[in-house]
Each structure stands twice: as C-alpha cells, then as structure tokens.
C-alpha cells in the first residue's frame, strides 16, 4: 500500500513539474510575439482572421495566422497555408500550444488566431493561458451554441466576452448587444472600440475577388489602424489575402444523366438566421432557382444546430429535403409533420459517399438547385469532394454571366454585402445576407491615441519608441477575480 502511495505521489509530482515547465516554455514563446490578435464571435471568425492577417502583411509586418472554421489552416507569413494536423481528427484547444510554438519560430511581429473554444470556461482559458491576446476581436453575437453559452443571446454575449484581454483593446462590430459588451469590457479594464461598417465604401469592397461583409472589413481596418497601418495599405493587403474554403458560392454541374444542377454551399452559415437570409438572397439574385432542394448534414456534436436547420424547412419550401450525417433524427424531428413527406433520410456515419451522391442526384429534376446547409464536416465534406468531380455546366455559366452586372448592382445597393466578380469559369461567388441590426448606433468609443507608428526604414517594433499599453507583455494573471468568471460558470 505504501508502495502504491509513493508511486501516486511521484507520478503527480512529475506531472506537476512537467506542466510548470510546459507553461514557462509557452510563456516564452508568447513573449516572442509582440502583438497577438484573438478573433472570437459567432459568425465570420475565419474570414476576419484572414482579413486581419492580410492587412498586417500589407503593412510589412511579419504575420502568422491560424483559422479554425470550415477547414483549420496554419497561414505562413508569405500567405501560403497548410491544414492543421489533428490526431484522430479531433479538435482540442491544447493544439494552440503547438501553433504558438510554430508561430514563434518565425519571430513575427504579430499573430492572428481564431478562437476555437466554445465552452465559456475554455474561452477564458484560451485567452488567459494559451493566447494572452493584446488585441481582441468580438465580431458579433448570434444564435448558435446556445447549449454551451446560452440559453439567451445576452448569455452568449457575456460568454464571448471571456476572451477579452484584460487591460487591452477589443474591437467589435456588434450593435444590438453593444451595451453588454461595454459593461463586460469595463469590468476587465479593456478598451472597447466599435468598428462601423458604414465607414467601408462600396468602391473599397469592389477590390475583393471573393465575397465578404462590410462588418468584417471594418474590423480588420480598425485592427490595422491600431497598429499604425494606413487604410489603403491595409486594403491592398486584404485584397491579396486568400479566401476561406467556406466562402459562399454557387457551382453549376452536369450530372452523368445530363441533368443540370446548381449547387449552393451554405455550410459556413452556422446560425439559422444567416442561413435563411443567404438562401433568400441567392433566390432573389437568380443564383439558384426552383425547384429548390435542401441538403442538411448532421453532426453528433451539433445536435441543437441540426434541429435549427430542420426547423428552416417550412421557410424554404423545398421539393426534397435530403438529410445526411448522424444523427439524422435530430434534424428530421424538428421538421413540421406536414413537410416530412418530402424528407429523404440518407443518414448514417458510414454511408458510402458515391452511393449517397447517386441517391441525391437520382431524385432531382432535369434542371434544379441544391442548397447544402448545416455542418460541413463528416459526410458533407465527402459529398463536396464527389460533387467537384462532376462535369461543369459551361452553358449554364454563360447565362449567369449575362446576369452578372445586375447582380453586382443589386449587391452593391445592399449595405451589408457586395458582389465579388472575379470568379472562376463555373464557380460563381455570390453575396450572402445577414440580417442588419434594427437599432440605431449612438455609441462611439474613439480609438486609442497611442497608435503604434511604423517607420518603413526601420524594423518593427521600433526599439527607440515605447510600445502602447495594449502591446506590452500582459501580466501572468489575465483575469480579475470575479465570482461569475469561475470555470464552469456560464453566466
């Protein structure tokens, strides 16, 4: 018994020492990265991460980035990228340690990283222990992950605020719950800065070869401004940034049977509000048409979202509803009874993707549209691979080109979206639409006066000039002692 007790004590001591050593090494890696930008929110984190990284690269800052959205990517300082390796394909916040270590090897000026934590306690750990950001980004508050961060949108807003840097700066484009964000920022001595989408002109958006929102561009411009990068330089860098794999798109295919298919990949719109608005926009622009068919991909770790997508069926009025992935029942049960006759249950974790695609195409008409919603991972990714092997419908693209100018004009009139007109031959990028906030924005907090100057003749940061307070190395204890911040407390 004494022997077992000694083994236990020795093992715990070794683990404790190893943990302390790992934390000290991680802190040393963080110290080599002067500016760390942590991007959090519900919608558009991956795109904002890429835009911020592009803006900083445009300003001659050596910048590394990492996204976690549709496909996790590590983005090198030269904008090349590679997939993030995950053992057994499972995402874990601990992978941020390896990302920071790899980023530090470049001795960069800045790192832009997307928050991959969902649980409120993990969001706090991600900020206080793993990233210790000097600039935070909280893009928006939407109806998603309610089981972990909810149940209300106010609760979601407060949970997202756990990623705010204590004593730092946080940039946001959220208007409806700005008051809550301001309250939480004040509790952390964090300067909250509003990025106004109205400051982004339609002319500036025309420079993008892929679709993005004004809110996303405004946030990236504000981050660049905080680092002393002028607007035009930042925009040039953003124009050259590669888009996220999940960018909204419509592709035209010819099936082996000669059927014409317009396929809209709306997997990136995670919340039901954005999903519905994106599809309605596609229909209004003629990018997709009726007969409309919907494909819902389910994931076992997103049961609530599966149900939210199923509940959208009456609003879309599709001819068929294909449900794939697992558990398919979570989406089917949310579809009203009067619409279940149109459901085609193709669920299952091990269903052959070739047979899956054949089942879907076999039920479609000679000229129809298919909209994919829900979650891309799992069966969704395999289905996209099989679809990409179909022959492109070049004749259908010719008709789309005739509509191009009309789509551009309509999208540019929309204050939240822009038509991106540099698309490949059979791949048309079209504007999505997010519901604009109804409230008038009456609050503005000015940007910090200590904008860090960049001298093109000197390396950055400049050793002869003091860094602003938000670029300094943060204290070891990032978060104040507040009862509602205890791990496991969702308030």
Whether the full predicted model's pTM is greater than 0.85, yes or no, is no
User: Which of the four pLDDT bands, split at 50, 70 and 90, describes residue 133?
Assistant: very high
Q: What is the mean pLDDT of residues 382-398?
A: 80
In this model, does residue 383 exceed pLDDT 70? Answer: yes
More confident call, 435 vs 212: 212
In this model, does residue 203 exceed pLDDT 90? Answer: no
Q: Report the distance separating Cα 284 and Cα 293, nearest Å.
A: 16
Q: Across all residues in the chain, what is the average pLDDT?
A: 79
Structure tokens at 380: 């969704």
pLDDT of residue 396: 57
User: Which of the four pLDDT bands, split at 50, 70 and 90, describes residue 432?
Assistant: very low
Percentage of the chain exceeding pLDDT 70: 79
Nearest to 155 by CA among 177, 170, 125, 122: 177
113-123 pLDDT tens trace: 999 888 888 89
The CA-CA-CA angle for residues 7, 10, 16, to 5°, reads 140
Q: What is the mean pLDDT of residues 80-107?
A: 86
Q: Report the distance separating Cα 376 and Cα 381, nearest Å.
A: 6
Nearest to 105 by CA among 74, 132, 137: 74
pLDDT of residue 435: 35
pLDDT of residue 427: 35
In this model, does residue 24 exceed pLDDT 50? Answer: yes
User: Which of the four pLDDT bands, split at 50, 70 and 90, describes residue 417?
Assistant: very low
More confident call, 241 vs 459: 241
pLDDT of residue 380: 85
pLDDT of residue 300: 87
Name the helix (H) or strand (E) containing 219.
helix 214-226
In this model, does residue 211 exceed pLDDT 80? Answer: no
In this model, does residue 246 exceed pLDDT 70? Answer: no
Phi, psi of 465 (to 5 degrees): -120, 140
User: Which of the four pLDDT bands, split at 50, 70 and 90, describes residue 151?
Assistant: confident
Percentage of the chain exceeding pLDDT 90: 43
pLDDT of residue 117: 84
Helix, strand, coil tally for the chain in percent (to 5) = 40, 15, 45
Which residues, in sequence order, are CB contacts of 169 under 8 Å at separation 6+?
134, 135, 136, 190, 191, 193, 226, 448, 470
Q: Which domains does the chain have, with CATH numbers?
A: 28-244 (3.40.1190.10), 249-429 (3.90.190.20)
323-340 pLDDT tens trace: 998 888 999 999 999 999
């Amino acid at each position: 018994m004494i022997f077992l007790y000694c083994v236990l004590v020795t093992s715990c001591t070794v683990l404790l020492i190893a943990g302390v050593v790992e934390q000290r090494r991680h802190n040393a890696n963080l110290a080599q990265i002067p500016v760390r930008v942590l991007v959090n929110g519900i919608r558009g984190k991956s795109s904002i991460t890429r835009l911020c990284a592009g803006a900083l690269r445009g300003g001659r800052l050596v910048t590394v980035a990492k996204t976690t959205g549709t496909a996790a990517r590590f983005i090198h300082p030269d904008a090349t990228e590679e997939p993030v390796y995950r053992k057994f394909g499972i995402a874990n916040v601990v992978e941020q340690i390896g990302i920071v270590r790899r980023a530090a090897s470049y001795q960069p000026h800045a790192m832009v990283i997307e928050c991959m934590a969902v649980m409120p306690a993990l969001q706090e750990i991600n900020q206080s222990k793993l990233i210790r950001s000097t600039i935070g980004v909280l893009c928006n508050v939407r109806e998603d992950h309610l089981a972990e961060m909810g149940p209300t949108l106010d609760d979601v807003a407060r949970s997202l605020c756990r990623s705010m840097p204590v004593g730092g700066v946080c940039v946001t484009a959220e208007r409806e719950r700005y008051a809550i964000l301001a309250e939480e920022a004040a509790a952390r001595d964090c300067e909250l800065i509003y990025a106004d989408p109205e400051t982004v002109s339609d002319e500036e958006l025309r420079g993008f070869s892929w679709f993005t929102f004004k809110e996303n561009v405004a946030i990236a411009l504000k981050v660049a401004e905080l680092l002393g990068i002028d607007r035009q330089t930042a925009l040039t860098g953003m124009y050259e940034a590669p888009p996220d794999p999940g960018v909204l798109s419509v592709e035209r295919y010819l099936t082996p049977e000669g059927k014409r298919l317009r396929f809209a990949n709306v997997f990136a719109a995670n919340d039901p509000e954005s999903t519905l608005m994106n599809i309605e926009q596609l229909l209004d622009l003629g990018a997709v048409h009726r007969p409309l068919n919907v494909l819902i991909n389910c994931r076992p770790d997103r049961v609530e979202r599966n149900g939210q997508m199923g509940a959208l069926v009456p609003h879309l009025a599709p001819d068929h509803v294909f449900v794939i992935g697992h558990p398919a029942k979570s989406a089917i049960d949310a579809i009203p009874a009067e619409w279940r006759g149109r459901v085609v249950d193709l669920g299952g974790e091990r269903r052959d993707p070739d047979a899956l695609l054949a089942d879907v195409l076999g039920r479609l008409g000679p000229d129809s549209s298919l909209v994919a919603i829900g979650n891309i991972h799992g069966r969704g990714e395999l289905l996209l691979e099989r679809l990409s092997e179909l022959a492109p419908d070049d004749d259908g693209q010719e008709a789309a080109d005739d509509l191009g100018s009309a789509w551009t004009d309509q999208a540019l009139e929309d204050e939240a979206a822009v038509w991106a007109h540099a698309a490949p031959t059979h791949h048309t990028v079209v504007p999505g639409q997010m519901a604009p906030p109804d409230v008038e924005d009456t609050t503005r907090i000015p940007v910090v006066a200590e904008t860090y100057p960049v001298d093109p003749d000197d390396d950055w940061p400049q050793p002869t000039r003091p860094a602003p307070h938000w670029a300094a190395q943060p204290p070891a204890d990032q978060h104040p002692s507040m009862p509602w911040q205890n791990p496991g407390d969702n308030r």
